[in-house]
Amino acid sequence: MGVVQYIAKRVGLYFAVLFIGLTITFFLPRFMPANPIDGYIGELQSRASGSLTSEAIAELRDNLEQLYGLKGDLFTQYVSFLNRVVLHFDFGPSFAFYPEPVSNIILNALPWTLTLLLTTTVLGWALGNMVGLVAGYFHTRKLATLLEIVGIMIYPIPYYILAVSLIILFAYIIPIFPLSPTFPVGDISLSKIWLIVYNSLLPAMALILAGFGWNILSMKALAVATTEEAYVTYARLKGTSHWTRMVRYVFRNAMLPQVTALALSIGTVFNGALLTEILFSFPGVGLIMRTAASGGDYNVLYGAITVSIVAVATAGLVIDLIYPLLDPRIRHK
Amino acid sequence: MIRLNNLVAAYRTGRGSINAVDGVDIEIPDRCILGVAGESGCGKSTLMKVLYGDVLSPMSLASGSIEYGFNDDQNKPVTSDTIQKQWFKRISYVPQSSMSSLNPVVKIGKQFVDFPGHEPNKRKVMEQVKTYIGKLGLPVEILDSYPHQLSGGMRQRVMIALATFFQPELILADEPTTALDVVVQKEILLLLMELQEQMGNTIILVSHDMGVHYQITHRMLIMYAAKAVEYGESDSVFAAPLHPYTRMLISSLPTIGDESARNGIPGSPPSLWGELGGCRFAARCPLATDKCRAEEPPLVEHKPGHFAACHHAGSEIPAAGEPIWQ
């Protein structure tokens, strides 16, 4: 298979996934019996103690349908939805922060989430794999078993317990970090960056620890199996050093499934975002999603879900494109 | 000359210790291809591991020693204690599974130069590697290839190139052609013979295939149940085997024109657990007498350079009655 064909196939698949994801996002809420505009008008009507005339209601309905892309039959709505989302990244205004456009809200929150989650996911992966590699490569030695025990101890702790324990431990019992962190908005200055990093340390630690245990266990198992391979034995008999064998022989082979795992966990970054950002009041997409969900802010939810679909699909695409560089058996079929 | 002084290699197990190589005491002359034959479990591979110095727990060198007959960089004679430092310098190894012995995600050229500390100038080594693999009839492009892009025969050639590149004094080949078809097998064996003739080193070749041994070896060592039972010049061993086990091994080879059914050797080797009194082959031997069952025969020189461990060395085997299998 040629390189161009390979890339074309992956990119084609990527757009197909995006299209299907967006379509589901569009149709699913529309199959719900409740209409958000009815709800909104009902709310207004009760606030105005039923004083709204039916003409005023009709006008209001018309305006709202226009604003939120609910005008016309399902197909017209669908086409205009795709047109707005795909071509203009426009999800309409937020209900809660009217008339702030949803795209603004999300674009403001996105860098926070991406920076925190990507950094911690990659760091947790790298640290876990390093420890797992050493534990697996030296699996016959007692000291290496200790490293594995670290993984076994951390892995089964549910994330929310881990996060809350860290908050209690490092913000309450030993108050190194603030209990209610503040994250400055607006222009970035050096002192602000320091404040942001300082306030992000606790959520970052929780996220790194959460990924750490699993990566240790998984990499350890892979590394143990790889050290039994004939090419590692042969490398040993060639007289290569432990370092060469551990890195170039065991790690290069054992990391391949781990890269897939990394891609999958990067794709689910937004799941992690939800819980972390609520627990640590971190101003990212997760916090916005929660506020939107509890406030019935459909447009914001649409936007956040769309962004997470794009993120998951993009992570998959990136890994598909990187994988052949790591595994020549895929590159040269 | 390589001297094996009463070599005993033991495996420590939960039930106690067993000797997988039990008192092998031979001298291997320089510039010779030695074939090692025997059935599975006779100690061939353990002997190779001990010779290579790859003695890892639970295996240990219980007693005896090896003198390799060559010196290290400090001009001290290399022994079983120091052989590890000579890996892929003065002693090298051709594994059985070329298929899985190369790192699948690293280019072959790179796998030629990941030995530590031979030559700091990798580029200079790569130039030498290029000329060398050209001599072995391999295209230079394979250095830029990954193992899965080569055929089984090419890969085995690469393994041989790796093992011979540093012109070691001793090469151990553990069934180097078992996984290959007969045509490629012959090419590989001829290549090994040719290289051996050019470099004048010693090759120790393990194989189940008596045909392979007949074709390329200068000397033969026959092992049975951890013991060396026959050792000598290949011509002499194949023409007039002294030990009944060797005889039966050789007579199990098919010959052109002979259409009679081949006889297997009835029975199976003794367990290495527990008391092993007398000759270990006695239970399967058609010549066995009470003496054989009571007294272990030593490996003695029956003809010049031809050793056998048998009380009835050289006696004809009485014609077997019914063939064991047909």
Preceding amide of A99 cis, omega within 30: yes
Q: Do A248 and B102 touch (CB under 8 A)?
A: no
User: Within a 13 Å sphere around the CA of B271, how many CA atoms are in the beta-carbon half?
Assistant: 4
Compute how many other C-beta atoms are within 10 angstroms of the C-beta atom of residue B55.
Answer: 15
What pLDDT is attached to residue A332? 65
Which residue in the block uniquely carries the two structure tokens 């031997």? B285
Chain A partners of B89 at a C-beta cutoff of 8 Å? 239
pLDDT more than 70, % of chain A: 97
Whether chain B has a CB inside 8 Å of the CB on A2: the answer is no
Whether chain B has a CB inside 8 Å of the CB on A242: the answer is no
Preceding amide of B58 cis, omega within 30: yes
Of all residues in chain A, the one with the smallest CA distance to B94 is: A234
Residue A143 has pLDDT above 90, yes or no: no
pLDDT in tens, A219-259: 999 999 999 999 999 999 988 889 999 999 999 999 999 98
Compute how many other C-beta atoms are within 10 angstroms of the C-beta atom of residue B123.
Answer: 8
Whether chain B has a CB inside 8 Å of the CB on A139: the answer is no
Strand order in the sheet with B219-224: B91-94, B170-174, B202-206, B33-37, B219-224, B227-233, B306-308, B300-303
What is d(CA A165, CA A163) in angstroms, rounded to the nearest whole number? 5
Q: Do A231 and B100 touch (CB under 8 A)?
A: yes
What is d(CA A26, CA A231) in angstroms, rounded to the nearest whole number? 52
Q: Do A244 and B114 touch (CB under 8 A)?
A: yes
Chain B partners of A332 at a C-beta cutoff of 8 Å? 146, 148-149
Q: Please give the interface size between A and B, counted as residue pairs whose CB atoms are below 8 Å apart.
A: 65
Whether chain B has a CB inside 8 Å of the CB on A142: the answer is no
Bridge partners of residue B223, in order along the sequence? B228
Interior angle at CA B175, CA B248 and CA B238, nearest 5: 30
Whether chain A has a CB inside 8 Å of the CB on B54: the answer is yes
Q: Which among A237, A248, A329 is the nearest to B114, CB-wise?
A: A248
Residue A65 has pLDDT above 50, yes or no: yes
The top-scoring range by mean pLDDT among A33-42, A182-191, A275-284 is: A275-284
Whether chain B has a CB inside 8 Å of the CB on A235: the answer is yes
What is d(CA B34, CA B9) in angstroms, rounded to the nearest whole number? 20
Q: CATH 1.10.3720.10 in chain A, residues?
A: 103-331
State how far Cα A52 lies from the chain centre.
Answer: 44
Whether chain B has a CB inside 8 Å of the CB on A325: the answer is no
Is residue A278 within 8 A of residue A242, CB to CB? The reply is no
What is d(CA B61, CA A7) in angstroms, rounded to the nearest whole number? 56
Is residue B24 within 8 A of residue B7, CB to CB? The reply is yes
Residue A158 has pLDDT above 60, yes or no: yes
ipTM of the shown complex: 0.87
CA distance A240 to chain B (A): 5
CA distance B181 to chain A (A): 21
Q: Which among A240, A256, A332 is the nearest to B116, CB-wise?
A: A240
Tokens of B68: 């390799």
Q: Which among A235, A253, A332 is the nearest to B146, CB-wise?
A: A332
CA distance B259 to chain A (A): 41
Strand bridging mode B59-71 / B77-79: antiparallel
Chain A partners of B52 at a C-beta cutoff of 8 Å? 237
Whether chain B has a CB inside 8 Å of the CB on A231: the answer is yes
Q: Which among B95, B148, B149 is the nearest to A234, CB-wise?
A: B95
What is d(CA A215, CA A265) in angstroms, rounded to the nearest whole number? 11
Whether chain B has a CB inside 8 Å of the CB on A237: the answer is yes
Of all residues in chain A, the one with the smallest CA distance to B147 is: A329
Closest residue by Cα to residue A278 from A254, A294, A262, A263: A294
If you average pLDDT over residues A55-62, what whole number do you get?
84
What pLDDT is attached to residue A304? 87
What is d(CA B21, CA B50) in angstroms, rounded to the nearest whole number? 9
Q: Do B100 and A229 touch (CB under 8 A)?
A: yes
What pLDDT is attached to residue B253? 77
Chain B partners of A256 at a C-beta cutoff of 8 Å? 105
Whether chain B has a CB inside 8 Å of the CB on A329: the answer is yes
Chain A partners of B104 at a C-beta cutoff of 8 Å? 231, 253, 328-329
Chain B partners of A142 at a C-beta cutoff of 8 Å? none
Whether chain A has a CB inside 8 Å of the CB on B315: the answer is no
Q: In degrees rounded to 5, what are phi and psi of residue B19?
A: -95, 110
Tokens of B109: 């050229």
Q: In degrees rounded to 5, what are phi and psi of residue A58?
A: -60, -40
What is d(CA B229, CA B246) in angstroms, rounded to the nearest whole number? 8
Whether chain A has a CB inside 8 Å of the CB on B245: the answer is no
Chain B partners of A228 at a C-beta cutoff of 8 Å? none
Q: Do B105 and A253 touch (CB under 8 A)?
A: yes
Q: Each residue's pLDDT tens digit in chain B (326 positions)?
A: 899 999 999 999 888 889 999 989 999 999 999 999 998 889 999 999 999 999 988 899 999 999 998 888 888 888 888 898 889 889 999 988 777 899 999 999 988 888 766 566 778 888 888 999 888 888 999 999 999 999 888 898 899 999 998 889 999 998 888 778 888 888 888 989 999 999 999 999 998 888 889 989 999 999 999 999 999 999 999 999 999 999 988 887 777 777 777 777 888 888 888 778 889 999 888 888 899 999 999 999 999 999 999 999 888 776 654 444 43
Q: Which residues of A314-333 are buried (b: 16+ CB within 10 A; e: fewer)?
A: ebbbebbeebbeebbeeeee
What is d(CA B23, CA B13) in angstroms, rounded to the nearest whole number? 20
Tokens of B278: 């007398």
Residue A327 has pLDDT above 90, yes or no: no
Q: Do B103 and A248 touch (CB under 8 A)?
A: yes
Whether chain B has a CB inside 8 Å of the CB on A249: the answer is yes
Q: What is the CA radius of gyration of chain A?
A: 25
Question: Class assignment of domain A103-331?
Answer: mainly alpha
Q: Which among A230, A249, A252 is the nearest to B100, CB-wise?
A: A230
What pLDDT is attached to residue A136? 94
**A233, A238, A243: best mutation site toward chain B, by most B Cβ within 10 Å?**
A238
Whether chain A has a CB inside 8 Å of the CB on B87: the answer is yes
State how far Cα A178 lies from the chain centre.
Answer: 25
Tokens of B264: 């297997």
What pLDDT is attached to residue A216? 93
CA distance B82 to chain A (A): 13
Is residue B91 within 8 A of residue B170, CB to CB? The reply is yes
